[in-house]
Structure 1
Amino acid sequence: MMPATKESWNEFAARLQEKGFAALAIDLRGHGRSTDKNGTRLDYKEFKDSEHRESMKDIAAAKEFLKGQGVDISGMAIAGASIGANLALWQASIDKDVLLLILLSPGLNYRGIQAAQLAPHYSGPVYILTSEMDATNAAQSSRELFKIFPGDKELNIRQGNSHGTNMFIQEPDLIDKLLEWTTNKIYKY
């Protein structure tokens, strides 16, 4: 989520770990302390759409990191907020190891990442969370995506105008809802 960092997922990740799940939050390129191969800091504000799409490599690298740590990545859940939601959907649409998908404030088109074209290619459980008055029109995008997803799906549109992980600040109980959904679905599938 622009301009958020991986720390916006800390509470959710920590609570997953308390339940015995491996959890990893990452900074997409241009966020937080991310650098290029030469150690130069990257700034998402300077990216072209094609550079934002390159963030898919960050998700693939995170998966490889987990595998290298001995984590069984078959049956993994992936979550993202804002542009991260679209990137998470992209990964889920091409990765058979993704069992569950959590999307916070997804858009139909974030920086050229076309969610409506990706959604039909993911048939696993998906939880979509957004705010009704989100300035990016994420609620309408979420409604449209909800119709497209072919599998088990849930849409939760909250009152307010928070975007992405900022919804956790406005409504901390949302983390409990996501944990309950994740736990129930992981053990069901």
Structure 2
Amino acid sequence: MREGSKISLQGALSLEKVSKTSEIRPPSAKDFFLLYSGERLIEETRYGALIENKRKRSRIYVNGLCVAEEDNLLFSYNITSLTKKLLPSLNRERTNVGRSAYSDKVKSILLECSSPVFARKLVEDLQRIQTGDVHDEFQWIDVQLHANLCSAEVWYNLVIILQRNERSLGKKAS
């Protein structure tokens, strides 16, 4: 009968000691689930959900499980309506799904959204387009058009509110 090799590590720290003494901590299984992420849902559509991004990297979830992280997206997304293009890209690890697999669904989610929080964030980002300092969602022309429509709606609503305030102030002055 053959025995395996014996390995001895001297001076090594256990993973538990490293996580207690260091800023770096290993990701727990919970970190991969939207349910435990602490991220806030902005709006839900028939394709999935738009999620507020408070991390350095945006996350792409498929049915609540993180499958990718992106550096330059404005929002995080939870895709709930899967396509034939997306299904084969979900490997066992579910962590290296390429942008081309889910970009159509992300775009569909964006184009269905219309909440005030969504519109405000989109309009704020749209204002940076001239400096080139915008998020990757603005690479899509139809998202740019949708942002402009949201912008027009935000300004229209602001004008209506200002006109109402002006009228009510005029009545009080008389």
Q: Under a length normalisation based on structure 1, what TM-score does the superposition of the two structures give?
A: 0.26
Larger radius of gyration: 2
Q: Under a length normalisation based on structure 2, what TM-score does the superposition of the two structures give?
A: 0.28
Higher relative contact order (CA 8 A, sep 6+): 1
